[in-house]
Amino acid sequence: MLDLHGYGPSILDGVWVTVEAGLVSLVLAVVLGVLGALAKLSGSRPLVWIAEVYTILIRGIPDLILMLLIFFGGQVAVNNVMTWLGSDEYIDINPFVAGVLTIGFIYGAYMTETFRGAILAVPAGQLEAARAFGMSRWQVFWRILTPQMIRYALPSFGNNWLVLLKTTALLSVVGLDDMVRKAGLAAGATKQPFTFYMAVALIYLVLTTISVLLLGWAERRYNVGVRRAV
């Protein structure tokens, strides 16, 4: 196997940072995605417009550019606000917080499309029946729409998660101590870059494989009771 020259534990720390950054970003992306989808389907002009601009802009610009913009731009903006408030303290943006906010914001746009399609796939009669039954809007959303929508959203949600997880590698560029950066440090010290980047690549493969298995299980679970055509 790969000889990691004692850098194994350090890389393992990086794995947790990668997984944490991925999962926290995912939660943010799902929240933004549901809000974006509801905005697009709300029928209110300004809300639809904001959601459209959000998804078009984000999906037309590379992740790395958005990341650098939010990381370096956020740094300048925060310190401008601090100066304006009369403080001369210099604030360094935490790469984890900035990274998670950026990735969550980016994948929120992709999730918006995922959930918009999934919500549209739920038959309107279901929602009308629930309203006629006297359920509140919230109850309709939570008890009728969500459980049925998840089934339609899962395949595209899974794809987005896999892309999101791989995107976290870019956070090593803005200084997050994820496994790619840890591997880079170890590679510099040992002069064995291939060994360490290959180790990281294999860990990504393990993470994506676990994700694919879990997503397959979830899809089977949410499709219980649905007759397959073929």
- Is residue 172 a contact point for other proteins (CB under 8 A)? yes
- For other proteins, which residue of 42, 44, 126, 209 counts as binding (CB under 8 A)? 209
- Is residue 84 a contact point for other proteins (CB under 8 A)? no
- For other proteins, which residue of 2, 64, 81, 210 counts as binding (CB under 8 A)? 64
- Residue 139 vs 211, nearer CB to other proteins: 211
- Is residue 192 a contact point for other proteins (CB under 8 A)? yes
- Is residue 20 a contact point for other proteins (CB under 8 A)? no
- Is residue 148 a contact point for other proteins (CB under 8 A)? no
- Is residue 75 a contact point for other proteins (CB under 8 A)? yes
- Is residue 90 a contact point for other proteins (CB under 8 A)? no
DSSP the chain: ----TT-HHHHHHHHHHHHHHHHHHHHHHHHHHHHHHHHHHS--HHHHHHHHHHHHHHHHS-HHHHHHIIIIIHHHHHHHHHHHTT-----PPPHHHHHHHHHHHHHHHHHHHHHHHHHHHS-HHHHHHHHHTT--HHHIIIIIIHHHHHHHHHHHHHHHHHHHHHHGGGGGGGT---HHHHHHHHHHHHT-HHHHHHHHHHHHHHHHHHHHHHHHHHHHHHTTTPPP--
Which residues make Cβ contacts (< 8 Å) with residue 120, sequence separation at least 6? 41
- For other proteins, which residue of 47, 50, 117, 166 counts as binding (CB under 8 A)? 166
Q: Which residues, 100 to 139, sit near other proteins by CB under 8 A? A: none
Whether the Cβ atoms of residue 174 and residue 68 lie closer than 8 Å to each other: yes
Return the range that interacts with other proteins (CB under 8 A); candidates 66-74, 93-101, 138-146, 150-158: 66-74
Number of neighbouring beta carbons within 10 Å of residue 143: 13
- Is residue 76 a contact point for other proteins (CB under 8 A)? yes
- Is residue 69 a contact point for other proteins (CB under 8 A)? yes
- Is residue 53 a contact point for other proteins (CB under 8 A)? no
Binding positions for other proteins, rule: CB under 8 A: 57, 60-66, 68-69, 72-73, 75-76, 162, 166-167, 169-170, 172-173, 180, 184, 187, 191-195, 197-198, 200-201, 204-205, 208-209
